[in-house]
Structure 1
Amino acid sequence: MIFIENEHIKCRATLSADLEFVKTAESDAENSRFVSQWTIEQHLSAIGDENQMHIIIEDVKTGKKVGYMLVAGLKNNNNNIELRRIVITDKGHGYGRQSFILMKQYIFDELKAHRLWLDVKTYNERGRHLYKSEGFVEEGIMRESVLYNGQYDSMMIMSILEHEYRAFVHML
């Protein structure tokens, strides 16, 4: 069971009791256009899958749930781990950045990943800005690869390699 924290947030394994919060978070109007809508069964499957981490993000001071993350590829033979999803419900407080920093550290230091990657909708400026500011490189666009509300959205593939992560952390 994953449990990492800093002075602002803690990340812990999602429990089945958390899934109502998760479903509400991903269906929220501010989040739904950026993330796929999963069923409870899909989330339960991810919770039970040793190749994935389903994580709840909480405010350390209040204990309030402020988001969740999905990470996949833990058993990938090429040491490529995917940040599949990060959803923050309480925006503007730095929870997304703090979660992202903690997860990068965990993935490279504990899981010994070679590459951390994600895809982000090309119009998700807030997300792309965060990822770039945290050392991620844009690799390319999967054109019109996701159907959302009757229209196809394009996805930007972004990644950071382990040596790039080490150099980025060293610069801070």
Structure 2
Amino acid sequence: MKTIHEQSNLIILRNTTEDDLDFVVQTERDLENAKYVLQWTKEQHRGAMEDEDMLHLVIEDSQTHNLVGYAIIAGLKNYDRNIELKRIAISEKNKGYGREAIKQIRKISFEDLNGHRLWLDAICKNHKAHRLYESEGFVQEGVLRECMFINGQYESIVVMSILEEEYRSNFKNR
């Protein structure tokens, strides 16, 4: 497993531990997050932590060290160097944690993991997330219509990505 410990003035991004799993499951079951994030069991998260093709990370407030979110990155072994931001969920909204986590994940993907493309998908009705991703350099690639059955209904998702060259030109030294 690759060890990650990235720190900014606002957050610390580090590998998830067994002790963090209750927080992770609780965060994705939060009423606001559950509308947009698939629900996994603790065992599924544990499996992602052990998977050599994934990074399961928690997000801490850098001052208080309280957990404020988590993220899962997949595709570490992808031959085409396509890294997927598989999941991100923040427990404390509107404090900048999500934006800062996206910046750190982007940096890890291109600088530490040697990615060529960082991509994600997001439920179409999650407009706040789309605005955040676009402001951080992600470009919409397309919509997969009603492809996921979440909370008893079919949802469409938008696929977004940022390429290595776009990152190096616009974000590397920020």
Question: Which range, TM-score by smaller chain?
Answer: over 0.9
Q: Which residue in the other structure is 2:49 paired with? A: 47
TM-score, normalising length from structure 1?
0.97
CA distance in 2, matches of 1:104, 1:168: 12
Which of 68, 71, 79 is matched with 2:70 structurally?
68
Q: CA deviation at 1:150?
A: 1.8
CA distance in 2, matches of 1:149, 1:121: 12
Unaligned runs of 5+ in 2: none
Matched, 1:104 2:102: no
- The percent identity for this pair of structures is 47
CA distance in 2, matches of 1:132, 1:92: 17
Q: Which residue in the other structure is 1:3 paired with? A: 5
Q: CA deviation at 1:171?
A: 8.7
Rate the CA distance shift 1:137–1:171 in 2: closer, same or farther, 3 A.
Answer: farther
Q: Which residue in the other structure is 1:12 paired with? A: 14
Which of 30, 33, 40 is matched with 1:31 structurally?
33
Q: 1:92 is matched by which residue type in structure 2?
A: N
TM-score, normalising length from structure 2?
0.96
CA distance in 1, matches of 2:35, 2:27: 12
Unaligned runs of 5+ in 1: none
Q: CA deviation at 1:51?
A: 0.4
Instruction: Give 3-state SS (helix, strand or coil) of 1:153's partner.
Output: strand
CA distance in 2, matches of 1:47, 1:33: 24
Q: CA deviation at 1:170?
A: 6.1
Rate the CA distance shift 1:170–1:74 in 2: closer, same or farther, 3 A.
Answer: closer
CA distance in 2, matches of 1:150, 1:91: 25
CA distance in 2, matches of 1:167, 1:140: 23
CA distance in 1, matches of 2:112, 2:152: 41
Q: Give every structure 1 segment of 4 or more consecutive aligned residues whose post-TM-superposition deviation is greater than 2 Å.
A: none
CA distance in 1, matches of 2:53, 2:159: 21
CA distance in 1, matches of 2:104, 2:43: 27
Q: 1:4 is matched by which residue type in structure 2?
A: E
Output the aligned Cα RMSD: 1.1
Aligned 8 A contact 2:117 2:163 in 1: yes
Report how many residues are paired.
172
